[in-house]
Chains A and B, each alone.
Chain A
């Protein structure tokens, strides 16, 4: 496990190569913003290099996710980072996204950190096509699943998206031949994102502030709260600050069918993964995220 960067490392940060596999819907009405917030965070990190972004269905269909991600990168002035179109459902098979994943994992053997924050369909296809795919990765950090019903206002009956979209693919990813860290829904409740958390953004980027405000207020109509959580941010923060999330190695024994209902079940016969269950310092986590967001600017906003 990598320790938290020292001050000298922060001045000369080691580059962490990242591919983001996501179901980003940032900028689309009434759809989650956390994938986009994750991308913005990663772009603001001096120690992160985004090698590419692969897209998959999940928060919405691929016909929404792919153009929304291209548009986001355009508005962030980062069209130099490739965005690849991936699976439209669990049976899609090979796509430019899965080819990209295989190619980059092989090219940078042992260096690619895969942040998987959409459905796992692209990853499974990549591993079906190249048995060495998972072995070639440095690690996978992902978000999804819950071990019991979520006891939070507005979220008790919310359907899990990332793992449940393709239970068979998630089942395979849990058994990947590289370290796998899962941020379950439970740990994400430590990082709410509402108007209070949004307020500091107004100090450095009004465009970014109003885009996020828009989406928070829109969500208030159907979530009954102008608050969301920084779900998909956690696997990204983990890459630079793993010791903010104390390791908890467990075996996940859920069947693909159980995973499709969003449920993670531990059991001795399961695949060993790291599932941290708390954040050591929540305020520091917000400071880290804000510090990265501060460095990123929208070009003309999402309008």
Chain B
């Protein structure tokens, strides 16, 4: 089977206390999916957050037995560089990688953007057209509709970064945008933990801790939504999503208002999480 090549833009410190788990779970799904070959991960994180994100991605890849993956954005020597310097270095490396990759690998990868924009923006400024390097772009676009669910506490009620958004909309490759709507079909609460426990105990305990911490906070409810998961699942199983074409300012792109088969969606996720962390760790 020909695997779909994917580059992920990622900004989650998944694994650290209180961090929203959706992006980490999406990455695990892609790491474990047999139909996906991850080419690289681009890591961004504002300011000091970058250290937390890079430490967390290092841990996640080690725990998944995938330390072979290229990560752009990890500080080569964190003590010596500011976050800005690290991001500039990452953008340089990513630009070179994309140029080289186009020559050597034949065909383009899909960009899954579920992270912060810093490194991709810097890379875009270094290239004639960043989007030309990808066969498709699938991105998380929060705030495209206002959250109207109890417990939908996604903090950034704004659109994707404007500069990057314009890079995407000017792209000639297919563009698919995911807002909150699909995620609302797939909440994360105590009920969902029961099934996750049977697919992955490490994931279960991490999520249980996350939900209990939320429950302990009087201002939010224990339920959350796995916002960044649908775009990742779309890469492996596009048939599970309703896709509608929209035109805005003369540009055409796809949006995904809902998941067509939620049972199949959950079953696919549990199946990929089951194989997570079967590798032996070592010193």
Contact = CB atoms under 8 A, between A and B. Distances in A.
Interface of A: 27-29, 67-68, 71, 195-196, 198-199, 202, 206-207, 209-210, 213-214, 216-218, 220-221, 224-226, 301-303
Interface of B: 15-18, 51-52, 55-56, 58-59, 62-63, 67, 201-202, 204-206, 209, 277, 280-283
Contacts of B62: 214, 303
B63 A29 contact: no
A27 B282 CA distance: 7
B54 to A, nearest CB: 9
Given A28-B283, A206-B52, A302-B283, A199 B17 contact: yes
> Nearest 5 pairs between A and B by C-beta?
A226-B205, A217-B202, A206-B55, A199-B17, A210-B59
A29 B52 contact: no
Contacts of B52: 206
Nearest to B54: A206
Contact of B58 (A198, A210, A221): A210
Contacts of A220: 201-202, 204-205
A217 B16 contact: no
B73 to A, nearest CB: 16
A29 B280 CA distance: 7
A221 B283 CA distance: 19
Contacts of A303: 58, 62, 67
Contacts of B56: 206, 210
Contacts of B202: 217-218, 220-221, 226
Given A68-B283, A218-B202, A221-B202, A196 B209 contact: yes
Contacts of B282: 28-29
A27 B283 CA distance: 6
B15 A213 contact: yes
Given A27-B283, A226-B202, A303-B67, A213 B209 contact: no
A214 B281 contact: yes
A27 B205 CA distance: 20
B205 A209 contact: no
Given A210-B56, A220-B202, A301-B58, 11 more contacts: A206-B52, A210-B15, A210-B55, A217-B63, A217-B205, A218-B202, A218-B277, A221-B201, A224-B201, A226-B205, A226-B209
A202 B62 CA distance: 18
Contacts of A225: 205
A65 B283 CA distance: 12
A209 B56 CA distance: 10
A207 B15 CA distance: 12
A213 B52 CA distance: 14
17 contacts: A28-B283, A29-B280, A71-B283, A206-B55, A210-B56, A213-B59, A214-B63, A214-B281, A217-B202, A217-B277, A218-B281, A220-B202, A220-B204, A220-B205, A224-B201, A226-B206, A303-B67
